[in-house]
Structure 1
């Protein structure tokens, strides 16, 4: 499992060198972080797709199967932003610029001192926390729907919207990825977690209940079923004066 809400930050370390991977893992765990690892680019991509996102990815450039550059591109497609500390033995300016242009947040050249790695990890996590705090202060909007996650407050058509916990989490997850089709398995992992013993029909039942509550406020049709895939929250078209 890569990321778990409500626990210590999880850092995902991706490096094909066992000695480096184990050394970084030991260093981070000694500082109190949770650590998940992968040894190939393909393994990293698979694990990122199958688990909640980590707080930070420490990513080697030269990896078997898929390069660190390709993994970095996949990370940029995650629903929530994840900082990437890219590691490489290549110190050419062009390599550093290329990694940063692909979305890496920072770049550290091998070999490096453990103290410098830790300093960069702490800095990136502080930046992420500040960005998350600013993001939480902003409402999530979709037509007549508005949600303030930090205040645990939601409105539909200007009226308070009271939701049970799982329906709240479902709506928040959909609001954070407007227009994106989220599969049932994805919703099950993000809302119920990996340890949930049920199946995807649980998602269907809760979506049905959520729609019924939104129907009362006249916006149940915002949640669309994409047959064979999952669900999508649509953004209503607001006509302009010239339309």
Structure 2
């Protein structure tokens, strides 16, 4: 079910400041109309592309800040082979992908999707992901686009959507993956429950949902090794070597 367009989010006024150019590459007319309208109302300048060739032609022209790219777009899989631009000049990509095929589609695309949202779409989450991607060059949170984030033997690779602790591969859900990424990008920084919820889901959810998510991720990450995910009681959660903070 689509999220409410009327939800007040900080990304709306942030967008109006910059007027960033967003290419919406979606084949379904209804989804294309929804995204074009709501993204435009949020203050972004939008363009539409309904085919692989249209995307390539537009990207070759330059000046595009972000691409919202539907994994169902016809001819999308060979897109990497036909691109006509330097990877360094390629805009950020927000991939729209079904939850049950996330782990398969992202690596196969070869597009180095910067981030993703799962379908069916929620507009609040789409706008939240866009804000994160467009706040600064190469992603707003300081993470290397298409790179690997590491801490204490823990590594997360955005190009394959995989995470490891040493040699052990972590079997993560999309929400767990996104939470781990947010913690790694902000290593040694305490993140509030609200900050985590808005990053993971695009909206605030009850404390219980966040606690359960953190608990599941902690069991997978900290299994058989020194704890990396910690609680700062009354403040939130952080990731790093325990010597850097005193956990309550």
TM class, shorter-chain normalised? 0.3 to 0.5
TM-score (norm 1): 0.46
Larger Rg: 1
